[in-house]
Amino acid sequence: MQTDLATLSRRRLLGSTAMGLSSVALSSLMAESRSHFPAKAKRVIWLFMHGGPSHVDLFDLKPELIRHAGKPLPDSYGAVETRRKVAQNPLLAPVKRFRTHGQSGIEISEFLPHMAELADEMCVIRSCHGDSVNHPQSVYQMNTGSIQMGKPSMGSWVAYGLGSENADMPAFVVLPDPGGGLKGGPPAWGSGFLPATYQGTTMRAGESPILDLHGPQSIVRQRATLDLIQQMNAQHQARHEADSELDARIRAYELAFRMQSAAPEAVDISRETETTQRMYGLDHPQTKEFGTRCLLARRMIERGVRFVQLYSGDTNGWDAHENVMKNHSDLCARTDKPVAGLIRDLKQRGLLEDTLVIWGGEFGRMPMSEKGVGRDHNPWGYSTVLFGAGVKHGHVHGATDEFGLRAAQDKVHVHDLHATILHTLGMDHERLTFRLNGLDQRLTGVEGNVVKGILA
């Protein structure tokens, strides 16, 4: 699966009539739906916990961390710089108790009582690791495979590889935290060097999830206006080959027009029963906002959206430098019930069978304390939790070392995680390529292995 900018240009395909433009946009979008082998998952919901949730306080119990709390890490444990920092910041025990749950006996913190009830649905990867200690670079890497800004996001790669199941809805939708301030910003869901049409479509909770969706004109006059604009765009496109931005604009106009009829119904959560709304926590101020976005995510994938990414955490988010207990108590209280509600809702509707749900952040937190009750960034070992299609349920994969500082057993690099997610969607990460400057580019670069140990 490879292409080049020139082959994606509409310079010769766009006709001079409105019908020609509409049919090209529709047929092009639907023709993109393809995979390399039978897929377990048809779609993905990624619950991105921005800021770095603490694995040693949530999903990775370390008895040695409890026993050695208040003491420095042993001198022989790490590099000189690590030992120097640890000497200033002694080990900090988990700030809440862990309990075993379900038949699987997975140990989960009391921070997450609702998710804990779904232990037998989880696949917990305890050995994830990445390459940067900083937020922006790690956000980029978890989203795009690279610590450098400007590469295509996973959602864009999936949209490029599989397209949308619904011509009236985008393939890739992003639901940012209303507090804003993602470290790294919108490039985290950008299309990079892929054609701009594959970037994430941003939606918001509330009365206007998609801004400027409704114009002042009647639908008939708007169709006529759009047809004229598209004809002019087609003429311009014929004179400017391989113009990805213009190509994206042409397709965006057509998609926006179709969404005017499809999107209002898709985002109307008043159509949901009171029971469903309570399941997501919409009846409580603390969980209503995140619960609403989780419910919107379910409604999006029901209507053919391939990839939905939902962010928790504003500028600082889960970045618990000051106080782990305070930070995680707040964010877990906001998100725990909605996440569990989403999983239950997907399961009872038969959607979890072919939907992969991902829970995790850009990295974890250190086992050492910061300022006595906080924790610093840790990209060397952390947890990511998967639910649903293509992965084992009630399963734990890999391990960090005895204190939770570094991935130690069955390590899973970000590239490996990406390769595995693509595999569940029926795509070979080595064959999902895009030709750029004479080279075949891919999400996983020249690395990445499918983590077969977690596959169902």
Is 0.75 surpassed by the pTM of this model?
yes
pLDDT along the chain (456 residues), means of 10: 46 37 40 76 98 98 96 72 61 98 98 98 98 97 97 97 88 93 93 92 72 58 64 68 62 59 78 97 97 96 96 96 98 98 98 98 97 96 98 98 97 98 98 95 97 97
Task: Residue 256: count other Cβ atoms within 10 Å of its Cβ.
Answer: 18
What integer pLDDT is reported at residue 247 of this predicted model? 67
- Can you say how many angstroms the Cα of residue 270 is from the centroid of all Cα atoms in its chain? 26
| DSSP states along 242-300 | T-HHHHHHHHHHHHHHHHHHHHHHHT-GGGS-HHHHHHTTTTSHHHHHHHHHHHHHHHH
What integer pLDDT is reported at residue 94 of this predicted model? 98
What integer pLDDT is reported at residue 204 of this predicted model? 74
User: What φ, ψ does residue 242 adopt, rounded to 5°?
Assistant: 55, 40
What integer pLDDT is reported at residue 266 of this predicted model? 83
What integer pLDDT is reported at residue 6 of this predicted model? 43
What integer pLDDT is reported at residue 381 of this predicted model? 98
What integer pLDDT is reported at residue 27 of this predicted model? 39
User: What φ, ψ does residue 293 adopt, rounded to 5°?
Assistant: -70, -35
Q: Where are the beta strands (DSSP E) in 368-443?
A: 377-378, 382-388, 395-397, 399-400, 407-409, 412-413, 434-436, 439-441
C-alpha–C-alpha distance, residues 74 and 270, integer Å: 57
C-alpha–C-alpha distance, residues 372 and 159, integer Å: 45
C-alpha–C-alpha distance, residues 340 and 311, integer Å: 16
- 74-to-28, 80, 371, 372, 381 alpha-carbon distances in Å: 60, 12, 20, 19, 18
Rg of the chain taking only CA atoms, in angstroms:
23
Beta strand 364-365 with 307-312 is unpaired
- 94-to-57, 89, 100, 122, 372 alpha-carbon distances in Å: 5, 15, 15, 21, 13
C-alpha–C-alpha distance, residues 449 and 263, integer Å: 38
What integer pLDDT is reported at residue 232 of this predicted model? 72
- According to DSSP, residue 377 is labeled E
- According to DSSP, residue 169 is labeled S
